[in-house]
Structure 1
């Protein structure tokens, strides 16, 4: 083969490598449900509205913001010995589970809680019946499905989920899309304990090696949820963002000019009607002719919305639910765009 023919073949191979989508891979996660004490206001101060000195949290939450909880904790491997450090802003939420369209997700789940059976149920992903992670009686009164529906204390289960085409962004969506995962055994009490977290699926060919979208500079996940920690009593209603109240959610920091993707979520019951509002900037939901520009995103329980922000207005800006009762109960924080 002549030298120019060799160079031509090399050029074709190089171009093919650049334009061919990445091969689907299997992404493994090691996650445990563990009991803990969660403080919704670890500073013991109201860091967003200072009506008195020294900015004390209003009643009835002043001395009522720390409760027993159970959370999803990520580990590095099957030994479940070394925890994976989460960003501080993720708060009470479980680890971010990521995939690109076409990938397979295997979650090695162990129930280390002493409080009862739990599970992991994903929204939108494709799965077989045994990996649904939901406990209920099926048609014809058959017994509850699959070993993954009820993982007892001390037991483990491996879930296999597929990020198929219908799990990923559709036409008109941004390059990645957020979904929930949560326990689905005793849904109300278990989710209120803190067993919930985000899944992100990135469009085929748009993902970094870790599954994150390569067309953004930074991502944040914020979940608006009124945790009920005292049987409906006001002192136990934690009007939180990522499990923090009265500005105690910290770390929402970005650089001037960055393209920031916000994954905004909600969970709860009929009082969890939320309107996430950014001061200082707007966001874009979707792309193309159907995209919309807004500074408020409407949320219902189990809602999931992905939006992009051009972070080009330096300053510290308020970020809160615009429902008045929720503001008064502390569902507010701030985000910071550095100079």
Structure 2
């Protein structure tokens, strides 16, 4: 089992008191306020790493450079990170629906990398999965991704090479496709949520067995093998080592304020790039959930003091009218001390006021997508005939002394693939048999419709997603059309679970790839 780099870095810092060498400084933050998207055609334009704001890239061709850096995550807490274009998150890429775009990736890291376009229905050879759709991009090499951005929505990108570690280090950014007829908000902010480890601790401080630290030479940041003693640890479901929560790579007072003016329509794009679910609470305003995983909700209802539960890999777009002058929080509603860092202040321009006081223990209801919005035309129905039906029983098990995460009692690469042909209609039952752990399941290359939750048909808007959080004891039935030929991953986006087995594939039997895996590329797809 491999674990996130933040945890591995913590162990090494605590045990050896060393840090990554050869890093450059970066204290970059994000602000997407009042972006003028008209008439801009910048090819890979980026801000200097020492400026205050992360770049927003527009146009049709972009350059991303994967490199090492340091970033101040919280006041006085500077951590070694891996970055795209020297910041965490990497630059936001904003494109227009229908554009053919090109992204040139240059790898200046000591390890191979790729880019996966999470949620974007790209052609299979552009999906960025090492050993499945491409060979990992080696240090010093470049690779070009090219596809048409034809489905508008909020997406993101991240490395899918040894992703439990590389995403954990910071290799991610947001990817926004603006719809041709989309109603624009006056303010459009993106909030990428993540978790970090703030300080070193000894190995004896953790409850672990069977952990694979495949690797960390902390002198050069590479993932070479560690000694055998460390290969016998596993963190199980204890995620308490993540004690520093961030928004756009910043925590606490370093998080940018979100300026608004009275009467403006404000859109907040929430993206969970971490490994924990977060309960997001918008204070002081009514709001709507207008999209999930980039796909619109039909006639969304007005909410107030409802939590938006966002699991790893998921995205939620919420919208509100700035009609309550003052300073208001949007925050992770939790009694976890780390959640105090995952809060941003919505600040009305020209208004001097302290932000409202948070009550993180108040019992607030969460938005239930199964009953939210208005019923509309469904693509699929529970009782229709499907070409294929599958069941995926998700579980946590001990095998050979290691904790593993299974699909139908098997771990990847021994899991049974879902095999389809183009045009097939597919129904999948997802059941979480784990006692304590969520499993946010992500299907590459496709959107699926949620048909039922715990045996009850959805009552609200049709819901289409690419990532669905299945909590312990829950069962969902979803359906999709096999309309994007290729070999695709279907896995848990708590990447600790994926790296310990919870991965399968969706394979088109009538698809033939010309990809040839290089045995020397060190491809690590999960």
The residue that corresponds to 1:181 in the other structure is 157
The TM-score with structure 1 as length reference comes to 0.66
Question: What SS does the aligned partner of 1:317 have?
Answer: strand
CA contact (8 A) 2:116 2:158 kept: yes
The counterpart of 2:312, out of the listed 294, 301, 304, is: 301
Tell me the CA shift for residue 199 of structure 1.
Answer: 1.3
The residue that corresponds to 2:262 in the other structure is 256
Aligned counterparts of 1:41 and 1:320: Cα–Cα separation in 2: 16
Tell me the CA shift for residue 193 of structure 1.
Answer: 0.8
The residue that corresponds to 1:68 in the other structure is 80
CA contact (8 A) 1:108 1:159 kept: yes
Listed one character per residue, the Cα deviations across residues 306-328 of structure 1 (whole Å, up to 9, x for unaligned) are 11121122222122100211555
Cα distance, 1:228–1:145 mapped onto 2, change above 3 Å: farther
Aligned counterparts of 1:178 and 1:330: Cα–Cα separation in 2: 24
The residue that corresponds to 1:227 in the other structure is 196
Aligned counterparts of 1:100 and 1:30: Cα–Cα separation in 2: 17
1:274 paired to 2:269: no
Q: How does 1:321-336 map to 2 (within 5 A)?
A: 321-326=332-337, 330-336=341-347
The TM-score with structure 2 as length reference comes to 0.44
Cα distance, 1:322–1:111 mapped onto 2, change above 3 Å: same
Aligned counterparts of 2:253 and 2:117: Cα–Cα separation in 1: 29
The residue that corresponds to 1:317 in the other structure is 328
- Structure 1: gaps of 5 or more residues: 1-24, 45-64, 75-90, 137-143, 169-176, 207-213
**Which structure: greater helix fraction?**
1
- Structure 2: gaps of 5 or more residues: 1-57, 207-239, 291-296, 351-526
CA contact (8 A) 1:32 1:109 kept: yes
Aligned counterparts of 2:90 and 2:286: Cα–Cα separation in 1: 27
CA contact (8 A) 1:126 1:161 kept: no
CA contact (8 A) 1:117 1:153 kept: yes
Aligned counterparts of 1:131 and 1:319: Cα–Cα separation in 2: 35
Question: What SS does the aligned partner of 1:324 have?
Answer: coil
Relative contact order (alpha carbons < 8 A, sep ≥ 6): 1 or 2 greater? 1
Tell me the CA shift for residue 72 of structure 1.
Answer: 1.2
The residue that corresponds to 1:95 in the other structure is 91
Aligned counterparts of 1:329 and 1:289: Cα–Cα separation in 2: 33
Cα distance, 1:294–1:38 mapped onto 2, change above 3 Å: same
Tell me the CA shift for residue 228 of structure 1.
Answer: 4.4
The residue that corresponds to 1:109 in the other structure is 105
Listed one character per residue, the Cα deviations across residues 219-238 of structure 1 (whole Å, up to 9, x for unaligned) are 11112221347689767632
The residue that corresponds to 1:34 in the other structure is 67
Question: What SS does the aligned partner of 1:151 have?
Answer: coil
CA contact (8 A) 2:88 2:248 kept: yes
Question: What SS does the aligned partner of 1:153 have?
Answer: coil
Aligned counterparts of 1:72 and 1:321: Cα–Cα separation in 2: 26
Cα distance, 1:279–1:247 mapped onto 2, change above 3 Å: farther
Tell me the CA shift for residue 336 of structure 1.
Answer: 0.9
Listed one character per residue, the Cα deviations across residues 53-112 of structure 1 (whole Å, up to 9, x for unaligned) are xxxxxxxxxxxx2211011118xxxxxxxxxxxxxxxx7211112223222221111112
Listed one character per residue, the Cα deviations across residues 18-47 of structure 1 (whole Å, up to 9, x for unaligned) are xxxxxxx971111111211011114x4xxx
CA contact (8 A) 2:288 2:300 kept: no
Aligned counterparts of 1:99 and 1:276: Cα–Cα separation in 2: 27
CA contact (8 A) 1:224 1:267 kept: yes
Q: CA RMSD in A?
A: 2.6
Count of residues paired in the alignment: 249
